[in-house]
Structure 1
Amino acid sequence: MRMKQENSSVQAVDRALQLLQLVGESKDPISIVDLAEKSGMNRTTVWRLIGTLENHGFIERDPLTKGYLLGYAANRLAAQAPQYGSLIRRARKSMEQLREETQETVLLSVPKHLGTLTIDQIDPANSVRVAHYVNAFLPLHCTSNGKVLLSTFSEDELNFFLEQPLESMTPDTITDPKLLREEIERVKKLGYATVIGELDVNENGISAPIYDKRHVLVAFISVCGPNFRFTEEKVLACTKYLFAAARDIAEHLQ
């Protein structure tokens, strides 16, 4: 009987967390009916668990739609934690291994609106290395992780982006919308993106996406180096290490 109660408690927690995740992932207030359908639980169970989560402030009922949204308690917990601390900790070991395999700088970045933000960087022992990019907000069209992000855009999103003027950072920056669209199509096929002197004439880089278990893009892993050492040939030669690191980080996000 005691074991049965413990198993029941674990199941209840599991189900409550599943509902909390569904509420958090929903773009609009979500109804009990939709929660029951998406979770596979009966409505009575959903009502009971939702009531508990609401009592603790983790979800709130929208007064207009009567659907549910994340509550203040959930937002407070998220605000108290370092924004990217967990992601950095889970990626660090894979980043260090990738740095050892390539002997170049390894970056971890996250997608932002019309740009990317570098949140961690590990440099090699070499005295000549790339710039320090942590906390740097970088454009999409002339960075390898930016091109990866562009490859995930819908057709409408991409059309809107390409209608905006693209700044030329170096003589090699792709500013022609047609050429950039062709570049993005290559990224879709290859699963990675490169930059050869497009952000900084002296630097080359390569990036791959990191997806969570719901196949949501959460980050990018990149390798960068000075062009005299990290040549285009060497950039392409490190793809297998880059993909392995991306897969390993994704597994640690499960």
Structure 2
Amino acid sequence: MPAALVTGAASGIGRAAAERLIADGYDVLSVDLRDDGPGVAYAADLTTREGNAGAVSAAIDAFGRLDVIVANAGIQHVAPVAEFPEDRWDMIVSLLLTSPFLLAKYAWPALAASGSGRFIVVASVHAQVASPYKAAYVSAKHGVLGLVKTLALEGGEAGITATAVCPGYVRTPLVEAQLPDQARRHGISEDEVLENVILAPHAVKRLIEPDEVAATIAFLAGPNGAAFTGVPVTMDLGWTAR
């Protein structure tokens, strides 16, 4: 049975991805700050080297192999550059960019041994475009797309593929938590933030559902996704068509 490691798996896209992979027949280690995810739950602080190394070791110890990594864990902070807290910058970059690098580094031998290892990052449309007040998030997501391209080139000979799933706004706690800050920054109500800020870039005016992103992840992890590597897989309801 193939084995997967999913980060940020206690809620949102991560939980949906872990549940979908389990339904598709994978053993799954669900990693989050708390051990509250589908499959085998594992608590780790992914802003540390030890947390990432421990998660990879736990997956291999639990399943005897590791075929798929879904690097999904993320946080957000909304503030202009002049006011952006430096410690929040450090935390966001460590979780969104350094953690995927460390997961790939520590899991590389296992992914190579799989013969068809898959490294999938949930990277956001903000890997391709920018928005104001999100300097750390946008910078980290742009960086992780570069990481994916590098992993694809280095992993090709070993059969490892690397892709970045780039959704627009998804109905998750991470998006919902932005509403009060965005309302304050723009001087409008939270309902107006959803309509006039969050959904404004979408050609189709709705939030993407976590299960839709999970289905894309499952496709990339499966045999039909084998030809995708080194690329963003964009599902943004028309955001980048503008």
> Is the structural similarity TM-score above 0.5?
no
The structure with higher relative contact order (CA 8 Å, sep 6+) is 2
TM-score relative to the length of structure 2: 0.28
Bigger helix share: 2
Larger-gyration structure (1/2): 1
